[in-house]
Amino acid sequence: MTVHDPRVLVARAHALDAADPLRAVRDRFVLDDVVYLDGNSLGALPRAVPARMAEVIAEEWGRLRIRGWTEAGWDTAPERIGDRLGPLLGAAPGQLVVGDSTSVNLFKVLVGAVRLAPPGRDEILLDGSTFPTDRYIAASAARLTGRTLRVLPPAGIAEAAGPRTAAALVNHVDYRTGELADLPGITEAVRGAGGRTVWDLCHSAGALPVELDANGVDFAVGCGYKYLNGGPGAPAFCYLRAEYLDRFDSPLPGWWSHRDPFAMADEHLPHPTVRRARVGTPDVLSMLAFEAALDVWDGVEIAAVRAKSLALTDFFLECVAALLPEGAVDSLTPRAHARRGSQIALRHPEARRLTAALGDRGVVGDFRPPDVLRLGFTPLYTGFAEVVRAATALADEVAG
């Protein structure tokens, strides 16, 4: 393809920005001149968070002290924030709880899912392109529950599910390539075979509709700090489908999952709600920062976010095709909308150098070994003019 005049793309970008129904949402974030395409690692700071945190520290911690647990609602924050995530994830109230890290939640729900399976179901299926922490935890869960871990390409999970399947752990969006897995199809196949699904939603929560309830997902976990903008190390979330609330048997039954923590009882009696997925004392400051960050979603439909995400990534691929010589980079991210998350992953032998050089030009993406430049497009704050800036900088660096 011929290399085009970037001014044509700039004009198109301005028209797309002018017609963008989410354009004003950008003002809810603290941003600068940098083209920030790393919201798939750490979302930008929502404007409401600093003042809310100052208030939490001065008023709730400073003045209420221990009374904050009841009078400021710290005690119930994990379920309250979980319910606020419900509309973004397609989950009715009472099935989501916020707390701990994704890794810890993965361990809880994967072991919990396997504990629901009869002993004859002796396999845990794992998508082979998974994020490393999922692999390590699945291997440990398999050892702990006496099951065998069977690692497959994500597309092979549905077919592999059968009478030996206890549970399948699958990533909704591949962290490296940005490929979107067929969540409805895989869930239906695993459930149809009598197994249970555990979905890792780290790269889809807040970026695209998940519809946990409607799709029959059994268990899910995901990050608070990526497309949900909850802040560095924000607590993760954990979804237990309603039908498991009375029987989910957590492998980490801490006192905060007890039905009466302050009874200080010797025997653990699990809480009858999703609170049974908690462990110990919640990380209140991070949790309340996450809660304040969720204000950016007021009046925003996840369907509109998905529409803009696809428009942004389509436009970026178009800019790359127009500005870079053919074959200069290789997109690992599928072109089909049904198979694309909200990032574009480009392969280039010098991807590490390109990532650093783009950073020097004010375009922030990240590098994943061995040769992948990842650019995440967060529809709440990324505009189309920024897409052209990023592609232009990339074209200059590849050329030079």
Ligand X SMILES: Cc1ncc(COP(=O)(O)O)c(C=O)c1O
Strand order in the sheet with 165-171: 96-98, 237-240, 219-222, 196-200, 165-171, 123-127, 148-152
CB of 41 to ligand X, least distance (A): 7
172 binds ligand X (CB under 6 A): no
Radius of gyration of the chain (CA): 22
Residues in binding contact with ligand X, number by CB under 6 A: 13
Q: Which of 96, 152, 166, 202 binds ligand X (CB under 6 A)?
A: 202
CB of 316 to ligand X, least distance (A): 21
Q: Which of 75, 133, 249, 352 binds ligand X (CB under 6 A)?
A: 133
Q: Which is nearer to ligand X, 204 or 392 (CB)?
A: 204
Q: How far is CA 195 from the centre of its chain?
A: 23
Say if residues 357 and 12 touch (Cβ distance below 8 Å).
no
Strands 330-331 and 343-347: antiparallel
Strands 372-376 and 165-171: unpaired
Q: How far apart are the first and last CA of the chain?
A: 19
x-marked contacts with ligand X along 134-153 as a string, rule CB under 6 A:
x-------------------
Nearest CA among 175, 186, 126, 183 for reference residue 150 = 126
CB of 211 to ligand X, least distance (A): 19
223 binds ligand X (CB under 6 A): yes
101 binds ligand X (CB under 6 A): yes
Q: Taking phi first (over 0 means left), then psi (-120 to 50 degrees means alpha), and beta for anything else, what does residue 362 get?
A: left
Q: Which is nearer to ligand X, 42 or 358 (CB)?
A: 42
79 binds ligand X (CB under 6 A): no
Q: Which of 29, 36, 74, 131 binds ligand X (CB under 6 A)?
A: 131
Strands 96-98 and 237-240: antiparallel
What's the CA gap between 44 and 327, in Å, rounded? 32
Say if residues 347 and 314 touch (Cβ distance below 8 Å).
no
CB of 203 to ligand X, least distance (A): 6
Q: Which two tokens stand for residue 137?
A: 């935890």
345 binds ligand X (CB under 6 A): no
Q: Which is nearer to ligand X, 202 or 358 (CB)?
A: 202
* Exposed/middle/buried for residue 113 (C-beta within 10 Å: 0-12, 13-18, 19+): buried
177 binds ligand X (CB under 6 A): no
Q: Which of 95, 102, 197, 333 binds ligand X (CB under 6 A)?
A: 102
Look up tokens 């660096």; give the residue: 397
378 binds ligand X (CB under 6 A): no
103 binds ligand X (CB under 6 A): yes
Q: Which is nearer to ligand X, 225 or 316 (CB)?
A: 225
Q: Which is nearer to ligand X, 171 or 215 (CB)?
A: 171
Q: Which is nearer to ligand X, 40 or 382 (CB)?
A: 40
Q: Which amino acids are annotated catalytic?
A: 131, 200, 225-226, 374
375 binds ligand X (CB under 6 A): no
CA torsion, points 74, 273, 294, 286, in degrees to nearest 10?
Answer: 40
Q: CB under 6 A: which stretch of 1-9, 195-203, 258-266, 372-380 binds ligand X?
A: 195-203
Binding site for ligand X (CB under 6 A): 101-103, 131, 133-134, 171, 175, 200, 202-203, 223, 236
